[in-house]
Structure 1
Amino acid sequence: MAHYGGRNYSKLTKTGFFVGLALFVVGTGTELVGHALFGSLPQWENSLLFAMALVGFAIGFASPFVFGIIMPLVE
């Protein structure tokens, strides 16, 4: 059996997924609520919220593959 060097890959996988999910939900939810309450938002807010949604999706999608599959196999 390989020794994992103190890294807890299951915790890293879950934490990365939930951080990505939180970024995605905050980005899309704030954009929807902002447009519903205020009509139009400034362009910098639209860009920020869109970037949050994209980064959250990327982190949430990649984290299980990187920390759950690839890293334990490489070690």
Structure 2
Amino acid sequence: MAHYNGRSYSELTKGGFFLGLALFVVGAGSELVGHAVFGSLPQWENTLLFALTLLGFAIGFASPFVFGIVMPLLE
């Protein structure tokens, strides 16, 4: 197995998952708190928070597969 000076695949997997989890929590939590505190939010904020939630879900779901399974097999 080749040795790289950069980060290992396990660190990339964990970091990508936790980045996705953080984006998801910020997007979903901000949307829930924003609606609870302010009632209705402007449409651009709803779109931004929804996109943040989807992006966080996609990154958190894909990161373990890409960096944990696919990349080590391609090495």
TM value normalised by structure 2: 0.95
User: What do the CA deviations read for 1:8-64 (whole angstroms, capped 9, x no partner)?
Assistant: 000000000000000000000000000000000000000000000000000000000
Cα offset, 1:5, TM superposition: 2.6
**Unaligned stretches of 5+ residues in structure 1:** none
Query: Does 1:71 find its partner at 2:56?
Result: no
- CA RMSD in angstroms, aligned pairs only: 0.8
Segments of 4+ moved more than 2 angstroms: 4-7
Q: In structure 2, what is the Cα distance between the partners aligned to 1:47 and 1:72?
A: 36
TM value normalised by structure 1: 0.95
The count of aligned residue pairs is 74
**Unaligned stretches of 5+ residues in structure 2:** none
